[in-house]
């Protein structure tokens, strides 16, 4: 594994700089497959109703796993920019912005055994000129939480991005979102600090916790994730 840059202003090799020209501003569609989850570009006509059904608070059963009625705000939406959603059309309107965003790629996450949608994860804030991209707008149905679905989906997205030549992957969340902060650290991201008064979300102040993972760190992080994801 190569050493991390030792000096501010380190001159990058020509091969690294050339990768910037090969990466599109809007990430290219991709399908990714693991043992637990499948990821495919989000299609609202195909996936919208199913995603609302697993995120609206009603009881769910998928692949032998079941949860009863739940509070969708507490379980999923409290720290997201939208939701809870009264109907599939409202959810589709919110997701449509992510699908159409010029520097993002929205992916539907499916349970691998049943091919049933269980959540959404996105590449956002893509900056190919700096070889960095963010994983964000991530949410999972309670029926998938705690199953390793998030860990595997994130591993697949990280592996894909680093294979494309990115140097830096970012993860940001509401500073009060302890579940997301724990997930970032568990996966292998490093905490970089808090940006105060960063956004106003649902009429409330949001301080943002900032995490990152670098290409030089990825081989060790990937090995640890693969070990954790063994059946």
pLDDT for 173-222, tens place per residue?
A: 999 999 999 999 999 999 999 999 999 999 999 999 999 999 999 999 99
What confidence tens digit (pLDDT) does each residue in 45-63 have? 999 999 999 999 999 999 9
Confidence of residue 1 (pLDDT cuts 50, 70, 90): very low
Domain membership flag for residue 147? yes
| Burial label, 175 (beta-carbon count in 10 A; 0-12, 13-18, 19+) | buried
* Residue 165 in tokens: 């030549």
- Euclidean distance between CA atoms 37 and 110, whole angstroms: 5
* Residue 123: DSSP 8-state: E
What's the structural domain count of the chain? 1
Domain membership flag for residue 101? yes
Domain membership flag for residue 15? no
Give the range of the structural domain holding residue 64, as residue numbers without chain letter.
26-228
HSE of 18 in the Cβ direction (CA atoms, 13 Å)?
Answer: 3
Angle at CA of residue 158, ends 209 and 168, nearest 5°:
60
Domain membership flag for residue 6? no
Domain membership flag for residue 224? yes
pLDDT at 2 over 50: no
Exposure string (b/e) for 68-100, b if CB count within 10 Å is 16 or more? eebebeebbbbbbebbbbeebeebbeebeebbe
Domain membership flag for residue 20? no
List, in sequence order, every residue forming a beta bridge with 169; answer none if it has no partner: 133, 213
Q: State whether the Cα torsion 81-157-133-41 is positive or negative.
A: negative
Q: Report the CATH number at residue 75.
A: 3.40.630.30
Domain membership flag for residue 109? yes
């Amino acid at each position: 594994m190569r050493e991390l840059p030792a000096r501010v202003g380190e001159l990058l090799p020509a091969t690294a700089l050339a990768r910037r020209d090969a990466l599109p501003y809007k990430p290219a569609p991709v399908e990714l497959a693991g043992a637990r989850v499948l990821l495919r570009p989000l299609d609202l006509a195909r996936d919208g109703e199913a995603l609302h059904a697993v995120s609206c608070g009603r009881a769910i059963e998928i692949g032998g796993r079941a949860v009863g009625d739940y509070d969708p705000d507490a379980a999923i939406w409290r720290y997201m920019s939208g939701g809870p959603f009264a109907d599939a059309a409202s959810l589709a309107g919110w997701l449509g912005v992510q699908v159409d965003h010029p520097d993002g790629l929205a992916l539907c996450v499916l349970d691998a055994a049943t091919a049933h949608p269980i959540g959404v994860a996105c590449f956002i804030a893509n900056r190919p000129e700096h070889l960095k991209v963010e994983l964000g707008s991530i949410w999972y149905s309670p029926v998938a939480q705690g199953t390793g679905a998030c860990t595997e989906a994130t591993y697949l997205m990280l592996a894909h991005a680093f294979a494309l030549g990115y140097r830096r992957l970012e993860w940001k969340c509401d500073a009060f979102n302890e579940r997301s902060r724990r997930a970032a650290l568990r996966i292998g991201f490093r905490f970089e600090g808090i940006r105060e008064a960063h956004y106003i979300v649902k009429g409330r102040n949001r301080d943002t916790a900032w995490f990152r993972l670098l290409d030089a760190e990825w081989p060790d992080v990937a090995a640890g994730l693969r070990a954790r994801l063994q059946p």
